[in-house]
Structure 1
Amino acid sequence: MTRRRAEGPEGGRRTRLSARDWAEAALAAIGEGGLAAVAVEPLAVRLGTTKGSFYWHFANRDALIAAALDRWEESRTEDVIVALEAEPDARQRLRRLFAQATEAAARDPLEVSLLATSSHPQVAAVLRRVTDRRLAYLAELFAELGFPPGEARRRALLGYTAFLGQTHLGRAVPTALPAGAELSAYLDGVMDTLLRPEPGPMG
């Protein structure tokens, strides 16, 4: 998080927080306790500041939630896609995407927390956008790998639902999932399933 240093009223140094600092803190709180954990005073304590800093950047709690959700969309989807595009091979991009997403979901409960609050209007809207974007990107990868549009979309949906299922299971019963070298072999199996050629006319 980027913080600027500024002179306090007595000439001392104080930390000037950015709106992104507040958004990141709100995301951490959502991951720990859902939307109910987004409260100004506890976040101010977490950040080592006062409520005045919050009101400098945001009109109210809903504005902070919106900023946090925008930050999640940017960092967990758009930034990931941009970084993956540096890999020229579509198969390697797909493998890396599943590996990174699986690792991130196991480390950070935020994805599950947001899915659990999908009935909230603000969360529902960003989940729709993120889901559409992720599925579209996956479909692009499968199309680049030679699958026709309809089949590329179907495999994108299969891959994404597998990721979501693994994410939920990893939070609920983490011992049910492979780890270490077994996880790598599991991901290879997922890739083999998703990239299996379409059956011929005789099945």
Structure 2
Amino acid sequence: MAKGRVTSEDWTMAALAALARGGVAAVAVDVLAKELAVTRGSFYWHFKNREALLVAALEAWERLATGQIIEDVDAEPDPLVRARKLFALALGDEEIAGLEPAIVAQVDHPTVAAVLDRVTRTRLDYLTRVFADLGLPDADARRRALAAYAAYLGWIELRRAVPRAAPETLTDGEGAREALDHLVELLVAGLPHHPTG
């Protein structure tokens, strides 16, 4: 990357990679400037301070890992196909490996906590709607959404923490496709719009 040609998006993506590596403490301007091969002055061209970078990075994560996925999934008219697509996208390839578990682990940081709370609410609301669209009453759809989201968080934590013990959680791991299909089947089992047998 040419010196001086770094965008605010380059900084935010570098900050997200740093978050995945070492949490909020790893989002250090000098370290990121070195990684991006620019001076510290480049940072101040785009951001007022480190906190502004952290906010921008977390908002980028929110936009890409929640807003964009919901937009992509909502384009599908069939409720069952929409549910399957959602789980496949959510549990598919990660742009930055280990980012989500790293963010969840930083919940004690006020900036992280605020964005994580908003993302979790948005995701649970969307999951509830997905299950309601499959014919569940609202209360049951909410409970199924909670179970699905807990399964999602567990899946990505297994992928991050113990990939050798749970290779099925890796997108290219042995048995990954079958394991993901099985999880989706469990999540949609017994729904009114889910074909039996």
Common fold by TM > 0.5 = yes
Task: Give yes or no for contact 1:90–1:144 (8 Å, CA) kept in 2.
Answer: yes
In structure 2, how many angstroms separate the alpha carbons of the residues matched to 1:44 and 1:148?
51
For residue 190 of structure 1, what is the aligned residue in structure 2?
183
Q: Which has the higher contact order (CA 8 A, sep 6+)?
A: 2
Displaced runs of 4 or more, over 6 A: none
For residue 121 of structure 1, what is the aligned residue in structure 2?
110
Change (3 A) 1:45 1:107: closer
Residue 135 of structure 2 aligns to which amino acid in structure 1? G
Task: Name the SS of the counterpart of 2:5 in structure 1.
Answer: strand
Does the alignment pair 1:132 with 2:125?
no
Task: Name the SS of the counterpart of 2:93 in structure 1.
Answer: helix
From 77, 93, 101, the equivalent of 1:88 is 77
For residue 194 of structure 2, what is the aligned residue in structure 1?
none
Could you state the TM-score of these two structures normalised by the residue count of structure 2? 0.87
Residue 62 of structure 2 aligns to which amino acid in structure 1? E
Compute the RMSD of aligned alpha carbons. 2.0
Q: Choose 1 or 2 for highest CA Rg.
A: 1
Change (3 A) 1:21 1:105: closer
Q: CA deviation at 1:101?
A: 1.8
Q: CA deviation at 1:100?
A: 2.1
In structure 2, how many angstroms separate the alpha carbons of the residues matched to 1:195 and 1:181?
24
Residue 182 of structure 2 aligns to which amino acid in structure 1? G
Task: Give yes or no for contact 1:58–1:64 (8 Å, CA) kept in 2.
Answer: yes
**Aligned residue pairs, count:** 187
From 47, 58, 61, the equivalent of 1:72 is 61
In structure 1, how many angstroms separate the alpha carbons of the residues matched to 2:164 and 2:77?
35
| Identical amino acids, percent of aligned pairs | 48
Task: Name the SS of the counterpart of 1:104 in structure 2.
Answer: coil
Change (3 A) 1:14 1:192: closer
Q: Deviations over 1:100-145 (max 9, x none)?
A: 2222359611011111111100000010000001111111111111
In structure 1, how many angstroms separate the alpha carbons of the residues matched to 2:96 and 2:44?
31
Greater mean alpha carbon deviation, residues 109-118 or residues 14-23: 14-23
Q: Answer 1 or 2: which has greater strand percent.
A: 1
Give structure 2 stretches of 5+ with no counterpart: 192-197
In structure 1, how many angstroms separate the alpha carbons of the residues matched to 2:135 and 2:62?
29
From 166, 183, 192, the equivalent of 2:155 is 166
Give structure 1 stretches of 5+ with no counterpart: 4-12, 199-203
Residue 32 of structure 1 aligns to which amino acid in structure 2? R
Change (3 A) 1:102 1:120: same
Task: Give yes or no for contact 2:58–2:115 (8 Å, CA) kept in 1.
Answer: yes
Could you state the TM-score of these two structures normalised by the residue count of structure 1? 0.85
Greater mean alpha carbon deviation, residues 175-184 or residues 82-91: 175-184
Does the alignment pair 1:31 with 2:20?
yes
In structure 2, how many angstroms separate the alpha carbons of the residues matched to 1:106 and 1:55?
26
In structure 2, how many angstroms separate the alpha carbons of the residues matched to 1:47 and 1:107?
16
Task: Name the SS of the counterpart of 1:17 in structure 2.
Answer: coil
From 33, 44, 50, the equivalent of 2:39 is 50
Greater mean alpha carbon deviation, residues 103-112 or residues 75-84: 103-112
In structure 1, how many angstroms separate the alpha carbons of the residues matched to 2:106 and 2:9?
22
